[in-house]
Amino acid sequence: MNAIDIQSITKRYGDTLAVDRLTLTVPEGGLFALLGVNGAGKSTLIHMLCGLTKPTSGDALLLGKSVAREAAAVHALVGVSPQETAVAPNLTALENLELMAGAYGLRDAKRRADEIIAAFRLGEVEKKPARTLSGGWQRRLSIAMALVSDPKILFLDEPTLGLDVIARRELWAHIRRVKEKATVILTTHYLEEAESLADRVGVMAHGRLVAVGAPAELIEMSGAASFEDAFIALAGEGVDLS
């Protein structure tokens, strides 16, 4: 079974067509990177896939469950670390994890939070209020929270935005471990991140998917010299770069 099977999904906000009849399948396992300039529709697509917003039309199956008709079943399958991190600022790292475990109705929320603290090496910050943590630690906590329910499919929306190069590389190591066990969908503006982590990449422009393939395939397909040039050729269609 595919992890994700998107069937002509569309989201309209008033006159804005944020996602336009997008069709895509993502096989189970590994990491799929979603690329595109600001406003391309990446976050809107992720919101629809994890049940945060309803499609205007079309549907997507996540491990066979419909986002349009089986929202509760989809919720149980997915974890999400949103673009705007959703950590509660006044709670400690540990309390944030316990809250998330409680929200998923896990019987032993405290034990699950402790397991995640150990797995994500969050011990040194577990008692600190989230608002006092650096950007890198907050992102790590946000991803850890998305994994509390042991999701089969994990969505990471710009997980390394604004992080320094050391914090970014640390998160890459965590993400590489996660993609051994779950299907990961990640958006990023850092092309070297997509090239390094992704098995396959999809490029969005104006709410549509304009290319899909392994990074090397996209380079070949566009006749470009590098992944960055390939991205510009595919995503920057209509933009005058001269």
Ligand X SMILES: Nc1ncnc2c1ncn2[C@@H]1O[C@H](COP(=O)(O)OP(=O)(O)O)[C@@H](O)[C@H]1O
Residues that bind ligand X (CB under 6 A): 13, 16, 18, 36, 38-44
The nearest distance, CB 157 to ligand X, in angstroms, is: 7
Long-range contacts made by residues 160-165, C-beta under 8 angstroms, separation at least 24? 160/188, 160/190, 160/193, 161/83, 161/188, 161/189, 162/135, 163/135, 163/136, 163/139, 164/136
Pick the piece of the chain touching Mg ion (CB under 5 A) from 27-35, 79-87, 105-113, 215-223: 79-87
Q: Which residues contact 220 (CB under 8 A, 6 or more apart)?
A: none
Q: Tell me which of 43, 81, 85, 92 binds Mg ion, using CB under 5 A.
A: 43
H-state helical runs in 92-203: 93-103, 109-119, 135-146, 165-178, 191-197
Nearer to ligand X, 42 or 75 (CB): 42
The nearest distance, CB 54 to ligand X, in angstroms, is: 12
The nearest distance, CB 56 to ligand X, in angstroms, is: 12
36 binds, among Mg ion, ligand X, none (CB under 5 to 8 A by kind): ligand X
Nearer to ligand X, 16 or 226 (CB): 16
Nearer to ligand X, 13 or 192 (CB): 13
Helix, strand, coil shares, percent, the chain, to 5: 40, 25, 35
